[in-house]
Amino acid sequence: MLVLTTKNKLTMTETIKPGKGFKIIAILGLLWNLVGVFFWAAENFMMTEEVKAAMPPERLELMESAPSWGVIVYGIATIGGVLACILLLMRKKGAVLLFLLSLLAIIIQMGYGMFVMKWGDILGPVDAYVMPIIVIIIGIFLYMYSKNNAQKGVLS
């Protein structure tokens, strides 16, 4: 590929091809984050009175006691992850920044829920601790994966 530099000289740049699993990881990450967006939208915008009535009272109280800024942070975590995966599929460096933003939002959301709201008292260990830790690990993986590919020159 020929690139015109600021000094009006033509130089050759090498295009680095991604590894064999690149598309698979990016697509799985996209699907994972799309599920997150669905749950975010369902919890915050599609909750009918019938659904609320069917929920255990403790879980409903926990949802309604969550801070309003939590909706924004949850949205940043999930929508940021979707956009980052799209940029990753397009092989754009902007994916790294969006994955970092998403990861920070995940840590804020999950940390607040586990340690301040004490999800464990109501949700049980799997929903309160195991799932949030899995979400954090996936967020870290996607961020590190995108950062590593940017450093290799796969992302431009």
Could you tell me which residues are beta bridge partners of residue 3? Answer: 11
Distance CA 45, CA 51 (A): 12
So what's the pLDDT on residue 2? 46
Domain regions of the chain by residue span: 19-152
Nearest CA-CA partner of 81 in 104, 63, 47, 108: 104
So what's the pLDDT on residue 80? 98
Distance CA 24, CA 58 (A): 39
> Model-level pTM?
0.85
Kindly list the averaged pLDDT for each block of 10 residues, start to end, along the chain of length 156: 50 73 97 97 88 86 89 97 98 98 97 91 88 97 98 94
